[in-house]
Amino acid sequence: RLVFNSVTVHIPAGVEHESDEHWGLRRQFMVAHKKKYPEDRLVCLTQVFFNMEFLGCKYPHKTMELVNRLAKEVAEEFRESRKGRLKRTFVGAQDAAGAKAKGSKPPTGALAKFGTNVPADDVDQGSVPKRPRLEEGSTGSQQEVITLDDEKPKPVAEVNKESQSEIITLEDDDEDEDDGAKSKSVPDTKDVTADAKEVAKTFVLMIPPRTNSMNEQDSVNIIRANFPGNQMSLKYNGSKEEGGWTCELWVNPTAGTKQKPQFCIASCFKPTQREGKQQACANAVATLKKFCTYIEPNPVWFKEGRTPEFIEKRIPCNKQPRSYLIMTKKDTGHVTPQVAEMLLTNFQKSSNEDMFFLDTEYNEKEKIQLMNSSQKFKLGFRHFGSKKQLKDHHVCIYKEKPAAEIVEEARKLGGKHPKFLVMLKKP
């Protein structure tokens, strides 16, 4: 169990065959969300995350959407490490196979790497918490007591069986949001106005819709969507002994550049680095909204996850060229992987921007097929409806546009846009 800030969370000990890396990932997930859920539900969510990540298990769509959202930060570093590991393993296997074909000895270490599931030198040891050894005589079914200070871990003899209940399904609700969504902006610890104004000269802030057609509220997700990859960096200065960390958020508004982030748009002081990141992102969003042109979903079009009137009444697009299509089974037939690919290929070549698949016309499997196939074509997807289940939802496949293009369209339309609210800032 974890004991901290008077919150106690039980973590089942890793089974005998479980690697330190897997156990560490489970532990990180529980630590990250310990204050948001009751213990039983947290254990359930952790197991679902583990099953999805390593076993490829499928759950109800909303459950998977919730767990993916919670796992974003926790799994990011691990997935990057795994990508590199698989790449090296493949190269090692290639070298060994090539050497065998030529009748020569394989390069040193090639066969060893190919036969090893997790090479020790491929794991970032600093990022993987070590699993404490159980004391002699203890078993894999026991739990461990882990404190966040340097005390020695102790085994617990009794296991709370209720916390190990199997997962059947989980209710997803709109209140389940990351801590970043709850962070409100506070005054920055240093003046970032000059840098923010410099960023505002060329940058347009985009508040994206979620896949459930709700407005994105999590400031961490908003910043990541606007500054992907190396366009953003966080700098920390401080220590636990000093009572916390100063966190600065630096960005580079130019997409595709290799130049390091050079503008500081937020600065705050928090007890932990995680809280610092969340607060810095909240401050950054507020600052960018103050100085930059920004875009957010138009409630007339997105309806905060509900069904807009033109879909409810099946109103086709009358203008030419058409901007959206409303699809029924009569138009498409049963949606197989091949049909989905054909539909999306034709859609991508057309002048249409949105393609709607009606709720009662398609089953859940067909809707999932369409959403999965859309990613291959680099198209966006979302779903919406008055009920909670995906099977009762409409699905929209759409072409994603750069923020600058949306602003230009709004200017041509006199400041109004059918899908987005564009807040234009004077130069």
**Sheet (strand 324-327) strand order:** 324-327, 354-357, 394-398, 380-384
Sequence ranges of the domains in the chain: 2-164, 179-297, 303-412
- Which residues make Cβ contacts (< 8 Å) with residue 105, sequence separation at least 6? 99
Q: Mind spelling out the 3-state secondary structure of 92-121? A: HHHHHHHHHHHCCCCCCCHHHHHCCCCCHH
Q: Are strands 324-327 and 354-357 parallel, antiparallel or unpaired?
A: parallel
* pLDDT tens by residue, 253-306: 887 777 888 999 999 999 999 999 999 999 999 999 999 999 999 998 999 899
At residue 117, does pLDDT exceed 60? no
- Which residues make Cβ contacts (< 8 Å) with residue 413, sequence separation at least 6? none
- CATH fold group of domain 303-412: Ribosomal Protein S8; Chain: A, domain 1 (3.30.1370)
Q: How high does pLDDT run on average in the chain?
A: 75
At residue 217, does pLDDT exceed 70? yes
Average pLDDT over residues 46-55: 83
Query: Of 83, 161, 148, 154, nearest to 122 (Cα)?
Result: 83
Q: Considering the entire predicted model, what is its pTM?
A: 0.57
R_g of the chain computed on alpha carbons: 25
* pLDDT tens by residue, 367-425: 999 999 999 999 999 999 988 888 999 999 999 999 999 999 998 988 889 899 999 88
Whole-angstrom Cα distance, residue 1 to residue 160? 11
Alpha carbon separation from 109 to 88, 102, 106, 124 (Å, rounded)? 11, 18, 8, 19
